[in-house]
Amino acid sequence: MAEQPEYLRNPAGYALEVSRTLGAAALKGQKAWTSAMQAMWRGPMEMPVDPRDFGKAFLEFTQAWATSPQKLLELNARWAQDYFGLWTMFFRRVAGEEVEPVATPAAGDRRFRSDSWNDRLAFDFLKQAYLVVGRQLQDLVAATPEMNPESRAKVDFFVRQYVNAVSPSNFASTNPDVIAKTLATGGLNLLTGFSNLLDDLARGDGLVKHRSPADFELGRNIAATPGAVVFQNELMQLIQYDPSTDKVAKRPILFIPPVVNKFYHFDLSPRTSFLKWLVDQGYTVFVISWVNPDARLASMGIDDYVGLGPLAAIDAIRDATGEESVNVASFCMGGTLTAATLAWLAAKGHGDRVASATMIATLLDFTAMGDFSVFVSDAHIQAMRKYLEKRGFVDANDLTRLFSVVRANDQIWSPAVSHYLMGQESAPSDLLYWFADGARIPERMLNDVNANFVHGNKLREPGAVTVGGVALDLTKVTTPVYLVSLKDDHVAEWRGTYLGTQLFGGETHFLLGGSGHNAGTLSAPSANKHGYWFNEAPTPADADAWLAGAKKYEGSWWPRWEQWLKTLSGGEVAARKVGSGKLKPIEPAPGSYVRMRS
């Protein structure tokens, strides 16, 4: 057991600490009550999803099993064997035997990493019983006879959310670490946690705040790569970074982030900054920093985001450097926007304005969307349209809630246990700081994205999408393309992103990095982690066939990709000082648009 803190050995000090915590909780309780009353006064708000869509899926699920009682009996017989194995394991351990567990957490499941979940028999049994039942519930969904695949996916998603929510790690009385902390602190962790809960309720955004010391400041130790804004319009600022080498590649790099998140995911602390690393490799680097739009920009759609985004940036880079063409790198929906830009340029006969295009964790064919597919249906799209009509934009907190639900254990339950039950702060994290700094999307832009890309899945069809009156056809794009995906990506599942290799008319390369959607991109060579897979052969149509022929490499994927990029960078020139061309500095990086809070 952990050593008792000083205030527990001093009754007066303990009483003072409890009084202080209760006083803070009382003030937060008043704010939570005020927030709840304000929400009631505003009345019910439109939701960006339609919960009835999940209800229809469950109705189909129950009807399917009502007509298949024999199959349900077969499943029950199999489950009985699971329980027999579980109890046999328990009694053998009671007898002092070393026994292999009947259920173990999945790789990467951090809920049960404490030794107490394995060393103490009662908690080990509770953990394994939970894992067995959770597995059985998911098997029940998978075995449902004659069920629509879309409905099955929705039920499976809901069941997994339920299983995650009822984990014994989420409750004070069944989590050995919380019990130990409660005994060690005299229950002060629970009082502090209750105060934290009231604080979150007072904010009224429905999110578990990731509490950590306020160690980050934009422009100082995060988004701190030196440079300046050299161009701006109503949708974006264009940042050019100061060179750190005497010579730079002749062809500049333009980085295009997604519109839903702020660009500095790729410029976090200097040790993980992808953009700083590119500067240090000898490139002139530009990045788009999107505005955080409000209702005044509700009418801005895909035409505007292509025209005022990548196309405007390419022209501005020409003015800043004198170079007619750029190498483009992009991430997630920024990559989808890049593909649309490439097709637009090709249709206009200006495909040479982009010498190469790298798209990281980017879906171009939205056939396979992983867990996000359960939110793509006519009912959800109509709900989103009604929601947007009320505001003119999608709120950043609603987007954060959606992403959090998909990664509930990491984004909801783990911080809830840490902040509400353990009463403690998280270690400072530049990635969590960025994740909490969300951005809005205008009404028309999100409707365009849903109609043309996510729900409509039209980008893969030649001529099905138009931008500014120009029909887009990816098969006409001959620009060399490099697709980077992440093996454990929950947002852009890698087999889904791999489908993009079959869409372009020129050479296409594919690399599969380790880890997930956000962490996998932060693969600085100095960290020497994650690893990656690469296949020298041309990309076949089947993703698993590509992986079967790929070789696993240790370390970062950045240097291998940069070797390819260097061949398309046009040699070297003297380093370009920011402002040496036609564009003069407007304000220091990271600019003012990135500081706009939701």
Q: What are phi and psi of 27, to 5 degrees?
A: -65, -40
- Environment class of 173 (CB within 10 Å of its CB; exposed 0-12, middle 13-18, buried 19+): exposed
In single-letter form, the type of residue at position 309 comes to G
What is the DSSP code (8-state) at residue 233? -
Q: Give the rounded distance of the alpha carbon of 40 from its chain centre.
A: 31
d(CA 575, CA 67): 73
User: Is 332 known to be catalytic?
Assistant: yes
d(CA 370, CA 137): 19
Non-local (6+) Cβ contacts of 563 within 8 A are none
CA distances from 146 to 77, 139, 142, 376 (A): 21, 15, 11, 21
In single-letter form, the type of residue at position 506 comes to G
The continuous run of DSSP H or E covering 393 comes out as strand 393-394
CA distances from 464 to 332, 350, 379, 446, 478 (A): 21, 20, 23, 18, 19
**In contact, 422 and 181? CB cutoff 8 Å:** yes
d(CA 248, CA 245): 7
Q: How many residues does the chain have?
A: 598
- Taking Cα atoms as reference points, which of 252, 309, 317, 300 lies closest to residue 279? 252
**In contact, 334 and 258? CB cutoff 8 Å:** yes
Q: Rounded to 5, what percent of the chain is helix, strand, coil? A: 50, 10, 40
Bond before 590 cis per omega within 30 degrees = yes
Non-local (6+) Cβ contacts of 464 within 8 A are 452, 456, 458, 472
The vertex-261 CA angle with 259 and 266, nearest 5°, equals 110
d(CA 332, CA 497): 10
**In contact, 145 and 64? CB cutoff 8 Å:** yes
**In contact, 210 and 432? CB cutoff 8 Å:** yes
d(CA 401, CA 404): 5
Q: Return the structure tokens found at 261.
A: 């998140």
d(CA 579, CA 167): 56
Which residue among the candidates 57, 190, 224, 332 is catalytic per the annotation? 332
Catalytic residues: 332
